Amino acid sequence: MLRPVKKQYGQHFLRDPNILEVIGRLAELGPDDVVLEIGPGQGVLTRYLAGRVRRVHAVEIDRALEPALSDLGENVDVVFGDALQLDLPQDATKLVANLPYNVATPLVVESLDGLPNVGLWCVMVQREVADRFFAMPRTKAYGAVSVLVRLHARRTGFHPVSRTVFRPPPNVDSALVAFERVAPPADAARVRRVVVGGFGHRRKTLANALSLAGVTSREHAVAALEAIGRRPDTRAEALEPEEFVRLTEALDA
């Protein structure tokens, strides 16, 4: 029986099995993989994963879906709760999911540092979110999320997805995006603070934004910008991800 979706959870269940093979290809699934799936819904993707990997950890917030997720195989663990509040399994090597749209961005960003053993992500998200993950400087989509994702990963795959693969069809376009981990900056936590602070006031100059965020004084920020060859009136969206690393080093020099 089809269960009604709950808008507060951003639920759009997969209904087209053909998309599963695309996910499997982009996720490069193997028999030794331990996969974290957030938002399994009715278990369509979960069952596909369970037949191809060593273990699946599925995290679902909606308890009403428990009957649909009760018999997925011996290699599937299902935990009910908010993935942003839970201690997620640290043995996961890949994150493969049709992510709930309302929490997709924070889930991916938090997993960059919070799940250090995850080496590959393959996630279904809104098209604009997928574009934002790897946006280029000076574009509308470029922001803190773009910088943080690009400093931790490189994109390996992208596949636009029709609205008809979901029930109910969303009112936005979607996409599968795959990316693999690269070596992060030496002081990733400090760089993250500079990045988030720098984009906290997009209409301000980067120096003013960092000052308003309490990261450093405006004068110190101006000096650090000049040290990396940037003008004092530079805005955050002008810097490449690697320049934020250099800026952080200049601020700490």
Residue 36 and residue 130 in one domain: yes
> Residues 194-222: what's their mean pLDDT?
97
Residue 163 and residue 195 in one domain: no
Residue 94 and residue 113 in one domain: yes
Q: Is the pLDDT of residue 178 over 50?
A: yes
Model pLDDT for residues 64-80, shown as the tens digit of each residue: 999 999 989 899 999 99
User: At residue 52, what is the residue type?
Assistant: R
10: left (phi over 0), alpha (psi -120 to 50) or beta: left
Residue 105 and residue 212 in one domain: no
Model pLDDT for residues 136-160, shown as the tens digit of each residue: 999 999 999 999 999 999 999 999 9
Q: Which of 159, 181, 203 is the last residue of a domain?
A: 181
Q: Which of 181, 214, 230 is the last residue of a domain?
A: 181
Confidence category of residue 168, pLDDT binned at 50, 70, 90:
confident
pLDDT value of position 156 = 98
Residue 132 and residue 240 in one domain: no
Domain total in the chain: 2
Q: What is the pTM of this model?
A: 0.90
Q: Which of 136-140, 154-158, 166-170, 181-185 has the lowest mean pLDDT?
A: 166-170
Confidence category of residue 11, pLDDT binned at 50, 70, 90:
low
Q: What CATH number should be reported for the domain holding residue 192?
A: 1.10.8.100
Residue 204 and residue 91 in one domain: no
In a domain, 135, yes or no: yes
Residue 113 and residue 223 in one domain: no
Q: Is 156 helix (H, G, I), strand (E, B) or coil?
A: strand
Residue 158 and residue 239 in one domain: no
In a domain, 2, yes or no: no
Contact 38, 124 (CB under 8 A): no
Residue 97 and residue 145 in one domain: yes
Q: Which of 160, 181, 202 is the last residue of a domain?
A: 181
Give the DSSP letter of residue 67.
G
Tokens of 50: 């369970």
**DSSP calls for 198-240:** HTTTTTS-HHHHHHHTTSS-HHHHHHHHHHTT--TT--GGGS-
Residue 87 and residue 42 in one domain: yes
Rounded to the nearest angstrom, the gap between the alpha carbon of residue 157 and the centroid of all alpha carbons in its chain is 14
Q: Is the pLDDT of residue 18 over 90?
A: no
Residue 218 and residue 129 in one domain: no
Three-class DSSP labels, 106-151: HHHHHHHHHCCCCCEEEEEEEHHHHHHHCCCCCCCCCCHHHHHHHH
On average, the pLDDT of the chain sits at 93
Provide, rounded to the nearest whole percent, the portion of the chain with pLDDT above 90.
Answer: 83
In a domain, 1, yes or no: no
Residue 205 and residue 174 in one domain: no
Q: What CATH number should be reported for the domain holding residue 104?
A: 3.40.50.150
In a domain, 16, yes or no: yes
- Residue in 28, 88, 32, 31 with CA at minimum distance from that of residue 58: 88
Q: Which residue range is the domain that position 74 belongs to?
A: 7-181
